[in-house]
Structure 1
Amino acid sequence: MYDYAIRFERDDTPGLAVFCRDLPQFHSYGDDEQHALSEAVDGIETTLSIYVDERRAIPAASAPEAGERVVHLPAVTVAKIALWNAMMDRDMRKADLCRLLGVHQAQGDRLVDFLHTSKMEQLEAALSALGKRLAISVEAA
């Protein structure tokens, strides 16, 4: 659902530029494909922060097209996306989430901060408060 497809483009400079159809604000760069893939996760998480700052729902990933590579986000990031989108469905602000969970503003802010690592237990509790349950599956690589 949130495994975003990216594409590489070469230009006159060494390395690869990286783009994502589903996240038009996302732009990244890598020295080679492996470096570009590792940088893509950080770039996507930074882009997701823009959606939070603009109070917009985060789009689901579309199926990859020919020539695209798929970026698998960390489980914590996917849980934060689910939490943020559940908040957007209810027109909730971060302050509303803090009141609902009975936590301080800074603690609630970190739950939807894609550049901060949160504990899965905290994200599960927040999702549960919004009537959601986190389900994780394991697939072959």
Structure 2
Amino acid sequence: MQYAIKLVEAGGTFVATCRDLPAFNSVGDSVEDALRESVDAIALVLQSYMDDRQPIPVATDKKRGEHWVALPALDVAKVGLYQAMQAKGVRKADLGRMLGMHAPQVDRLLDLTHKSKLEQVESALLQLGYRVNVSVEPIRVRHAA
């Protein structure tokens, strides 16, 4: 899961915005710093969608001059769990019963700031008829001249 981020230099800092996530904004002292900070900012925005029980915005194609920012695998799995629950009409309480978990444990599975074990999220997804698919891809790095 990745979103296209636009960076604009303003007074020695780089301001990041995202067309697909209107509430998103981030800054950094360099391009690399702004992109690194954008990972956490995207997670915070997605968490707000999840907390408000809203659909997760679909990422559109990157436009010229934008940068891809990818979420960590655990965050992708947690967002996927949320989306699977939405698709199946499963509430947190329902998932808790399916997994034999108490409400706070289920809340942590859907909390992007909590470092759950990926296996726990995978188990929850399996209960809903979904699975995690991880891929490893090379990163294309553009070096400054």
TM-score norm. by structure 2 comes to 0.90
Secondary structure of 1:122 counterpart: helix
Q: Residue 16 of structure 2 aligns with which residue?
A: 18
User: What is the distance in 1 between the residues matched to 2:20 and 2:89?
Assistant: 22
Identity, in percent, stands at 47
Q: Which amino acid aligns with 1:27?
A: N
Q: Residue 63 of structure 1 aligns with which residue?
A: 61
Q: Residue 5 of structure 1 aligns with which residue?
A: 4
Q: Residue 45 of structure 1 aligns with which residue?
A: 43
Instruction: State the shift of 1:37 in Å.
Output: 0.8
Instruction: State the shift of 1:14 in Å.
Output: 2.8
Instruction: State the shift of 1:56 in Å.
Output: 1.0
User: For the Cα contact (< 8 Å) 1:56–1:88, is it kept in 2?
Assistant: no
User: What is the distance in 2 between the residues matched to 1:9 and 1:140?
Assistant: 26
Q: Which amino acid aligns with 1:77?
A: D
Q: Residue 104 of structure 1 aligns with which residue?
A: 102
RMSD over aligned Cα atoms: 1.2
Q: Residue 143 of structure 2 aligns with which residue?
A: none
User: What is the distance in 2 between the residues matched to 1:119 and 1:59?
Assistant: 25
User: What is the distance in 2 between the residues matched to 1:100 and 1:54?
Assistant: 23
Runs (4 or more) in structure 1 with deviation over 3 Å come to none
User: What is the distance in 2 between the residues matched to 1:62 and 1:100?
Assistant: 34
Gaps of 5+ in 2: 140-145
Secondary structure of 2:27 counterpart: strand
Instruction: State the shift of 1:90 in Å.
Output: 2.2
